[in-house]
Structure 1
Amino acid sequence: MITKLSNERFEKAKSYIKEHGRTLDQSRLDYYLHHGSKENVLNVLRTHQNLDGGFQDMGEGPRNFSSPIGTSVAFQLLTDLDVPVNDPMVQNGLKYIVETFDHDLGLWQPAFNWLHEEVNLVQSWGNPSAELVGYLNHYKEIVSNTFLDKLLNITARNMLLVKRPMDTFVLLCYMRLVKFAPDGLKELIIQRLQEDVPKVIETDPAKWSKWCTKPYWFAISSTSPVADIINQDVIRNLEYEIQNQTDEGFFPPHWNDTEENLWNWKSILTIDVLKALRNYNMIDQ
């Protein structure tokens, strides 16, 4: 029998978000778990957008200035909420994405400038570039066809050149691209995901308390392109999260970080786990 999050523990998680969570996660909690206002989520998200169109303080990326990776997280929400292309927040965000593309290197910087380091650009390229290509293709009505064709060609080329299995976060970005990729590229990415994801996830529960790639990251819902392949690992992983929910109500990060960063991630992960539990009917209500 599958373990479910009790109603009491569910209320504990919600209370944690309401009392200690980020404002953005408070609005996400209301929307995703209580059919709350989409507009309320968007109003909070607008406070994270800068005059240059990019987003800051999104969990990923810098807190005090725009970054492509922070903007990618914002577009996860914008596309999840089906925000149309004529929305000013979308248009300004797309403008930022287009303007921050490095044409010489054929990528977007992941956060801070890391090009002084020894980085394999093909291996690292997908994070966040693959994801951003997906958002540009989704809103392609206002994106140059020439530019978009260039990006799709770079994506296909790198999918063929990258060493396997791919890095966890690169795979996550390619997985987010799948939803918006044209058919031929979509089929290639799904094939790569189905081959690589089982190789990078940690399936030993004894290791889930330390830094590792958790199975549920790749299948927060059964619509994931790898859900069928890793379903048993995802369920076991979510049962682990239920068992390790803290007395305060949050689902804890499994890595070391600054106190401020961990506060952000306690909030973000709690929403993510609750969404996954709801999607797999693992909340006892």
Structure 2
Amino acid sequence: MDVLDRAETYLQLHGRLIDRLRFAALFRGGSRERVLDVLRCYQNTDGGFGHALEPDLRGAGSQPEPVEIAFWILDELAAFDSPMVLAACDYLSGITTGDGGVPFVLPSVRDDPRGPWWQTDDDPPGNLVPTASLAGLLHKHAISHPWLATATGFCWSRIAAVQETSPYEARAIVTFLNLVPDREWAEAEFARLREAILATVALDPDTPGEAHFPLDFAPEPLRLPLFTQGVLDAHLDALVAAQSTDGGWSPNFPIWTPLVKHEWSGYLTVHQLKTLRAYGRLPG
């Protein structure tokens, strides 16, 4: 079987419904609307998303990070015309802090089972994770909503203060700078931060543990000159080789309860196939 057939078998055996339907829509000519139907089940009446759309947040209540996952799914389906988007923006407006960003996680997370790293203060500040990625995707799709101007101002201000960064923050910065319309400003900040961003990247494909690789920053070709083609080719080769014998790709971050391994693996399997296709690495 080829890479797609093996991945399809893995998803049939282990994947969530939404990830099986994502695969079908993206690679088998399946229905985009069916994916959207399932995604709506993760959206709450406040416009936010919960219900373990982000597998490490097991609660039903809305949190900022599941909105980012929803936006990436809507992006891959070219479905930013869905009413889910503006409803989510209304939710983001309601949780935006005085500095103009949304927090990494809200204190309500304490009421629910969750990965042990989901911790927060009582009054958390805005964070580039996930504000920058959310704003970048809204800009990509030219969405008009008052929250976007507020969030964009927050991102420019917070990015201007960055000297050193961490992998998840760096990935959010790259997403924002890659997608924001003001290219002159984006390219100037990228030039200033390029070395700091690269300092968070594992350039050796064999780096063990919770490493962040070039393709995590560039799951499709970027406008920004972050990696050489040689670096990308080496990591694409490694990505192909990393498909397991049962057809999936597994996370390299901690698994704190057994169910999330397959939930994350299903999500990541579709994600890795998208990356291989974006770089012309899928058969046919």
Q: Is the 8 Å Cα contact of residues 68 and 130 (structure 2) preserved in structure 1? A: yes
Q: Which has the higher contact order (CA 8 A, sep 6+)?
A: 1
Query: Aligned residue for 1:110?
Result: 104
Q: Is the 8 Å Cα contact of residues 132 and 155 (structure 2) preserved in structure 1? A: yes
TM-score (norm 1): 0.82
Q: Is the 8 Å Cα contact of residues 102 and 130 (structure 2) preserved in structure 1? A: yes
Please state how far the C-alpha of 1:138 moved relative to its aligned partner: 5.7
Which runs of 5 or more residues in structure 2 are unaligned? Answer: 108-118
Distance 1:252 1:215 in 2: 17
Query: Aligned residue for 1:100?
Result: 95
Percent of aligned pairs sharing the same letter: 23
- 1:48 matched to 2:42? The reply is yes
Query: Aligned residue for 1:253?
Result: 251
User: Root-mean-square deviation (CA), in Å?
Assistant: 2.8
Give the match's secondary structure for 2:104: coil
Query: Aligned residue for 2:68?
Result: 72
Flag the 1:74–1:271 CA change in 2: closer, same or farther, 3 A: same
Give the match's secondary structure for 2:152: helix
Query: Aligned residue for 1:4?
Result: none
Distance 1:210 1:108 in 2: 29
Please state how far the C-alpha of 1:213 moved relative to its aligned partner: 0.8
Flag the 1:167–1:181 CA change in 2: closer, same or farther, 3 A: farther
Question: What is the one-letter code of the residue matched to 1:134?
Answer: G
Give the match's secondary structure for 1:162: coil
Q: Is the 8 Å Cα contact of residues 11 and 266 (structure 2) preserved in structure 1? A: yes
Structure 1 window deviating more from structure 2 (254-263 vs 39-48): it is 254-263
- Number of aligned residues: 269
Distance 1:14 1:88 in 2: 30
Flag the 1:8–1:115 CA change in 2: closer, same or farther, 3 A: closer
Q: Is the 8 Å Cα contact of residues 248 and 266 (structure 2) preserved in structure 1? A: yes
Q: Is the 8 Å Cα contact of residues 198 and 230 (structure 1) preserved in structure 2? A: no
Q: Is the 8 Å Cα contact of residues 128 and 172 (structure 2) preserved in structure 1? A: yes
- 1:216 matched to 2:215? The reply is yes
Give the match's secondary structure for 1:232: helix
Please state how far the C-alpha of 1:140 moved relative to its aligned partner: 6.9
Q: Is the 8 Å Cα contact of residues 133 and 173 (structure 2) preserved in structure 1? A: yes
Please state how far the C-alpha of 1:61 moved relative to its aligned partner: 5.9
Query: Aligned residue for 1:268?
Result: 267
TM-score (norm 2): 0.82
Structure 1 window deviating more from structure 2 (59-68 vs 25-34): it is 59-68
Question: What is the 5 A alignment of 1:168-187?
Answer: 168-177=167-176, 178-187=178-187
- 1:132 matched to 2:134? The reply is yes
Q: Is the 8 Å Cα contact of residues 163 and 193 (structure 2) preserved in structure 1? A: no
Flag the 1:226–1:267 CA change in 2: closer, same or farther, 3 A: farther
Q: Is the 8 Å Cα contact of residues 129 and 172 (structure 2) preserved in structure 1? A: yes
Give the match's secondary structure for 1:206: coil
Query: Aligned residue for 2:112?
Result: none
